[in-house]
Structure 1
Amino acid sequence: MLEPAYQADVVIVGAGVAGLSAAHRLTSAGVTTAVLEAAHGVGGRMSTEKVDGFRLDRIGQLLSTAYPELRLTPGLDGLVLRPFAPGVLLHSDGRHHRAGATPANSGSAAWSVTRSARSTRSTRSARGALHAVRALASAPRPTPRPVAAPRGGTGTAPLGTAVDQARLGAALARIAGAPVERLLARPELPAAQALAARGLPARTIDGFLRPLLAALLCDPELTTSSRCADLALRAFAGGLLSVPEGGAEVLPELLARSLPPGTVHTGVRVTSVSTNTVTTAEHGEFRCRAVLLATDARAAAELLPGLRVPDFHPVTVVHHTTDEPPETGTALLLDADRGGPVAHTAVVSRVDPSRAPAGRALISSTVLGPPPPDVETAVRMHLARLYGTSTSRWETLAVHHTA
């Protein structure tokens, strides 16, 4: 039972990855911190459902081994990432085409997070950390290779000519080596508009960059900031797309376990916040020097009336199992033609064998945007075309919709 008069320098509302990461930054600077979470577990949307020996992620979150946060955030030393094959596999005109592999993302073995030595960031004073929290709180919100075709026909590589492919490779190499500060200094536009202004052929943009960025940003229309798109492309070109070994929930669980004992409190529903007080439904008030909201926008708006709630991009993940998996190996398969609801799919058990029992394959597919009325049937039919195989005997394990 929590003590109603518990005091901390900072109270963080929400034990998702953002809240837990913030808690690590603060506690490492000597700031006493309490994390309050309404659910009975940590992680928020990064959760994993267990069904008959399968581990089914609720969102199709793609990570990259190039993400600096995975090395810089305390507590993630034990995280193991299972990488997809370098680049992606594009389905276009009934054929598969390998694309996007770069010298920087040519590895394929399991990847463990090893944090580099801390610099002055880890010795930041408690006063400085509290200043950062207050500043955040007051900020305004504002060379492809075709493989065996699943269907007959020759098809054309979705990246265009050899010259087009060389230009794309050069562009990926440049962005992989670009400093983050330079990318953030570029003019900010919707990602789709920025792509059109980059000087790449339309076929390269439509056949590769659009489906890739839609998968990385979970935004099929690419209305997201071009700066976010640039950072996503930088991580793609400089590392390997991957998933956490054991399921998405492993990442927030590692963060929570490595915080000081008693920092995280689950099953605590917050009803109101002020500058130095957090009121809960059943555990009284928490007095503090600063409050950090790390919830989704809708929950934050309930606690801060008048806060603008942006539109969300719905995501639906459909999990299937079969004893005869498609022959795509560990590739992430994208639909370059956008001929159905599935944006990307993979035989995830090939990437991370811990996600399925022996002798069974787990195929996880992501639908971006509002799903069709009969999403399971539509996805099954689309997967048959993407993989070039019958899916009629595939068993549906779960359909997870997040809006």
Structure 2
Amino acid sequence: MTNERGGGHVAAVRETTDVLVIGAGVAGLACARDVADAGLRVRVVEASDEVGGRMRSDRVEGFVVDRGFQVVNTSYPQLRRRVVLKDLRLRPFTPGVLVHTPTGRLRFSDPTRRPRSLPDLLPGRLAGPRDLAALAALTARDLLAPPRRLKRLPDTTTRTALADAGISDALVERFLRPFLAGVFLEDDLATSSRFFHLVWRSMLRGTLCLPAEGVGAVPRALAGALPTGTVRLETPVERLTPGGALTADGRELPARAVVVAAGPRSVTDLLPGVDVPAYRVVTTYYHAAPRSPLGEPTLLVDTRRRFLNTCVLSDVVPGHAPPAHALIATSVLGPDAEGRENRLRAALAEAYGTGTEGWHLLTVRTVQEALPVMTPPQPLSRTTRVSPGRYVCGDHRATGSVQGAMASGARAAREVLRDLRP
């Protein structure tokens, strides 16, 4: 597949297409793929200079830097259906997490995948026998239950669901709250329990990985499966018209149906009146160091919640850093602020057990619309049809995940096809 750039092929753009998709994130690309596979003509326009939306990777001083810490879960059905995973050259994280506590570092691992970690789960290290039994029962249910059953569970907050499962506040505060804060991008465990159960299931069934070329490899693979010339970059859309859309430079993009798959702010601009939830803000600090402070591809979380999580990306994918260097990514809630990086360095020095004086702040990435707020009751899927010929898709119409974004794109394609070919 080749991507067109704005400013050329004007005559081709003016030809009426069946479906115009605005936004080349994973939701829009999934929608375009399904529409194209059904035999309809589709065009994707993207305001930026690359596909991916929030799921992009950059090169900074020889390091591979994603736009915010992100991982690929190999169990996502939409991902497995659309992408050949081996082509992404995935590198796995350790199946577990390190927890920094005031009394030292604890390890929580999946003993079914890492048998040598079984002693870490002995009663008294991370939790007592009652907590371990309660967590094992919850885990077994989520692992074995079909998704449709989990989707029908009463929807409460995640914190309430953990308490109802018999898990003590002590284990929640020691492990589940700091770990899940990095998943939900909120540290009150106020996220929908239905979504929690689905996420927990996906983690148990899949492996968290990083592509060798960064998470941007995922949308590039989706775009690569589209017919040549489908995606047009650097083409911002100013407004929708009765017959399609109008670009910022005044060109008409005629289409029988328009799918808005852009970011939340663009959705409200192009489709006034569409309900878009609030979003969580996250900032990721990327530090370059002369050597890895950890030496293993494992997430590290903090019971004091001074950061969401931190990891040495170059321990996961050595190619993310130049030779003789290490790349550390640390995410925190909210925007960057004066003095925050200094306070974060002190927390990281304590968590990693090493000095950070030789670390270099490579770059800071703040994602204003990282994940939608998903408090209960949380609809796990919503119609994408707004009005005749107008549709909207994205994680805000499903769940805040790559799976949710792609599923919303797939639903948009189904509803478009149903309307255009009744």
Aligned to 1:12: 21
Does the 8 A contact of 1:54 with 1:355 survive in 2? yes
Could you tell me how far apart the structure 2 residues matched to 1:41 and 1:283 are? 21
- 1:281-296 alignment runs, 5 A limit: 281-282=248-249, 284-296=251-263
Q: Does 2:340 align with 1:351? A: no
Query: Normalising to structure 1: TM-score of the pair?
Result: 0.82
Q: Does 2:207 align with 1:249? A: no
Task: State which of 209, 226, 233 in structure 2 corresponds to 1:266.
Answer: 233
| CA deviation profile, 1:224-282 (whole Å, cap 9, x unmatched) | 32222221111112222222221121111111122110110111111112565122122
Could you tell me how far apart the structure 1 residues matched to 2:119 and 2:279 are? 33
Change (3 A) 1:65 1:5: same
Amino acid of the structure 2 residue aligned with 1:377: N
Task: State which of 50, 63, 72 in structure 1 corresponds to 2:59.
Answer: 50
Could you tell me how far apart the structure 1 residues matched to 2:75 and 2:252 are? 41
Q: Does 2:346 align with 1:381? A: yes
State the 1:358 CA deviation. 1.0
Q: Does 2:297 align with 1:330? A: yes
Task: State which of 133, 137, 151 in structure 2 corresponds to 1:184.
Answer: 151
- 1:196-211 alignment runs, 5 A limit: 196-211=163-178
Q: Does 2:120 align with 1:145? A: yes
- 1:112-123 alignment runs, 5 A limit: none
The more displaced of 250-259 and 302-311 is: 302-311
Could you tell me how far apart the structure 2 residues matched to 1:216 and 1:63 are? 12
Could you tell me how far apart the structure 1 residues matched to 2:243 and 2:72 are? 35
Does the 8 A contact of 1:276 with 1:291 survive in 2? no
Could you tell me how far apart the structure 2 residues matched to 1:76 and 1:286 are? 34
Task: State which of 36, 39, 57 in structure 1 corresponds to 2:48.
Answer: 39
Aligned to 1:130: none
Could you tell me how far apart the structure 2 residues matched to 1:40 and 1:33 are? 19
Could you tell me how far apart the structure 1 residues matched to 2:85 and 2:31 are? 13
- 1:77-88 alignment runs, 5 A limit: 78-88=87-97
Amino acid of the structure 1 residue aligned with 2:329: S
Amino acid of the structure 2 residue aligned with 1:61: Q
Amino acid of the structure 2 residue aligned with 1:266: L
State the 1:398 CA deviation. 0.6
- 1:163-178 alignment runs, 5 A limit: 163-178=130-145
Q: Percent identity, please.
A: 37
The more displaced of 82-91 and 213-222 is: 213-222
| CA deviation profile, 1:204-242 (whole Å, cap 9, x unmatched) | 222222222221222333333222222111111222222
Give the root-mean-square deviation of aligned CA atoms. 2.2
State the 1:166 CA deviation. 3.4
Amino acid of the structure 2 residue aligned with 1:239: G
Could you tell me how far apart the structure 1 residues matched to 2:22 and 2:288 are? 37
Change (3 A) 1:348 1:74: closer
Could you tell me how far apart the structure 2 residues matched to 1:15 and 1:145 are? 44
The more displaced of 294-303 and 61-70 is: 61-70
Aligned to 1:122: none
- Secondary structure of 2:279's counterpart equals coil
Could you tell me how far apart the structure 2 residues matched to 1:144 and 1:181 are? 35
The more displaced of 231-240 and 348-357 is: 231-240
- Secondary structure of 2:235's counterpart equals coil
State the 1:371 CA deviation. 4.5
Q: Does 2:99 align with 1:90? A: yes
Q: Does 2:213 align with 1:238? A: no
- 1:193-232 alignment runs, 5 A limit: 193-232=160-199
| CA deviation profile, 1:294-324 (whole Å, cap 9, x unmatched) | 1121110011122334222111111111123
Aligned to 2:268: 301
Aligned to 1:140: none
State the 1:94 CA deviation. 3.6
| CA deviation profile, 1:88-137 (whole Å, cap 9, x unmatched) | 1111124221114152x549xxxxxxxxxxxxxxxxxxxxxxxxxxxxxx
State the 1:170 CA deviation. 3.3
Amino acid of the structure 1 residue aligned with 2:344: V
Aligned residues: 355
Query: Normalising to structure 2: TM-score of the pair?
Result: 0.79
The more displaced of 279-288 and 392-401 is: 279-288
Aligned to 1:69: 78
Aligned to 2:404: none
